[in-house]
Structure 1
């Protein structure tokens, strides 16, 4: 692995962000929150799966904790409604999305396989070993790829729906697991672990990748940036893509939801990370936005459109609105921070 491109961490203060969106500094926090949320929704309208992040009435949950009483019943109804709206096919077919990028995930969690002339870089390992075998291993085989070529497994963040199938891939194919130092550290502290019966065992510390490092395999260089927010060491990736004679670049946002409760500082950190990734993406000419949850980035719908694509048609994953997703993430996380600052967040 070659470490290149040292990136500097950028932190935005409230006043800097307010100036960036042309808001007067004397504006009340709750008014600013509403305007930021509206701005985010407008910017990210091509990605409706992200819109719930802009809901200023929703409870900001803490991963692993469950609400009680009326809040629990309300959350159950909302979750059921969201599931019905976002549910894709029961078992999506593994799909070649670009010449060198393949989807081998489930309806709810993504796993991406990036092919190179010296092996495969896998991005995320699904919930558990059974899913890794059924969707990743068999998916690669169905696509005419050899699971023996898996060289690296990049885990975007330290939650089991992204690392849970790693043991199967390590034991059977010798995959080297790559994570940020902060998230390796989180997994090494049992008190920080979230107990979920669906999740497989966490990986043992292997390769640590730092902010701005490049993971190089053969003819392909994958750039990794530490974007704290969803977890303290979430990795977001810039991925080179090929489509016939055309080349593109994707940004994969490594951790989407606000799963840490009404933590104002963390929400501001999330916003700063999204702002920084937008700047990096602009500099890199990114024209594809990806998520590790397919309902967030329209992956399943875009795969359906890809199946209908005719020669000469534009690629359904390529869009001049790709960076609008990062605008939404930046604005709506800041909106939630202003909401918390104003004391507008319900505790139950």
Structure 2
């Protein structure tokens, strides 16, 4: 339990102590203003002109510097995402499990399909597409993936419900998927010889999925956690932010129990993915793997998420208390 003597500022400072390893998560610790409500911001976006039939918007010129080339990360894990949003391909032997489908069909073709081909995986089927949560930058390219590979589409049952009723949209995103495979907290997905455990970690959205799975580096075996959603984008909703704190605490416990030593994100800036990929591409034969940070460091990531989200809802409650008095 949190100490009743500590303030929101105290927890924010505690969270910031972990930003040495995870500077991309530091914004969660900023309690100078309440979290933004992206739904209200999105209402104006819905008034933009209707998307073209392709359901996508061409990449703007000058964005090339943001791109990240497709890259092998572990013997069974590949990065096939864009510069600002990730897609991870888990090779299970006979097929690939893909986590997230980027913004739209054009991106799915450019980064995922063409990326897998460049990595020598163009002929391997995608059997499952796990969508971490129901925001369009993670499901938007599903239609192209579905028509090309016909995978099962996996989200949490809670998130399928959320997506069906969500009104937030953007002209940059492809259309929503229809309900397919729904999973519950702690459910295991076994694909060929690879076992993935799916945890419902509410906070970013009500049914965000976090995935834990094995990764291999030569003779070394590791365990990775792919955190399903990071930002606070729905305004000063105390109970929802509290659910985020609880999710972070749960994942911190699982990291310790399962000796998880790799932390991944579905946004490259959050976990320093670009920098780690660059380090990996220049890795010497005797050098440590850039993504293997160790259990203690992965624990730090979830301590940051726990402390900073606690600071967020405590600051809201403190202000509400001051207003009443």
Using structure 1 for the length normalisation, give the TM-score. 0.83
Aligned equivalent of 2:190: 216
Aligned equivalent of 2:249: 275
Aligned equivalent of 2:31: 56
Counterpart CA distance in 2 for 1:147 and 1:42 is 45
Counterpart CA distance in 1 for 2:234 and 2:67 is 30
| 1:131-154, Cα deviation, whole Å (9 max, x unpaired) | 000000000000000255100000
| 1:109-160, Cα deviation, whole Å (9 max, x unpaired) | 0000000122000000000000000000000000000255100000000100
Once the two structures are TM-superposed, the CA of residue 43 in structure 1 deviates from its matched residue by 2.6
Once the two structures are TM-superposed, the CA of residue 204 in structure 1 deviates from its matched residue by 0.7
- Stretches of structure 1 lacking an aligned partner (at least 5 in a row): 1-15, 68-86
Once the two structures are TM-superposed, the CA of residue 58 in structure 1 deviates from its matched residue by 3.6
Match of 1:38 among 13, 29, 35: 13
Counterpart CA distance in 1 for 2:70 and 2:123 is 14
Counterpart CA distance in 2 for 1:207 and 1:267 is 27
Matched ranges for 1:164-243 at <5 A? 164-189=140-165, 192-243=166-217
Aligned equivalent of 1:65: 40
Aligned equivalent of 1:135: 111
Counterpart CA distance in 2 for 1:185 and 1:61 is 23
Counterpart CA distance in 2 for 1:195 and 1:234 is 18
Matched ranges for 1:56-95 at <5 A? 56-66=31-41, 89-95=65-71
Match of 2:227 among 253, 265, 282: 253
Match of 1:121 among 97, 120, 145: 97
Match of 2:122 among 143, 146, 158: 146
Counterpart CA distance in 1 for 2:123 and 2:256 is 34
Match of 2:309 among 333, 336, 347: 333
Decide whether aligned partners of structure 1 residues 198 and 134 sit closer, same or farther in structure 2, where only a CA change above 3 A counts.
same
Contact 1:186 / 1:193 at 8 angstroms: preserved in 2?
no
Counterpart CA distance in 2 for 1:200 and 1:148 is 24
Counterpart CA distance in 1 for 2:289 and 2:65 is 22
> Segments of 4+ in structure 1 off by > 4 A?
none
Contact 1:44 / 1:327 at 8 angstroms: preserved in 2?
no
Once the two structures are TM-superposed, the CA of residue 336 in structure 1 deviates from its matched residue by 0.2
Using structure 2 for the length normalisation, give the TM-score. 0.89
Q: How many residues align?
A: 299
Counterpart CA distance in 1 for 2:18 and 2:41 is 32
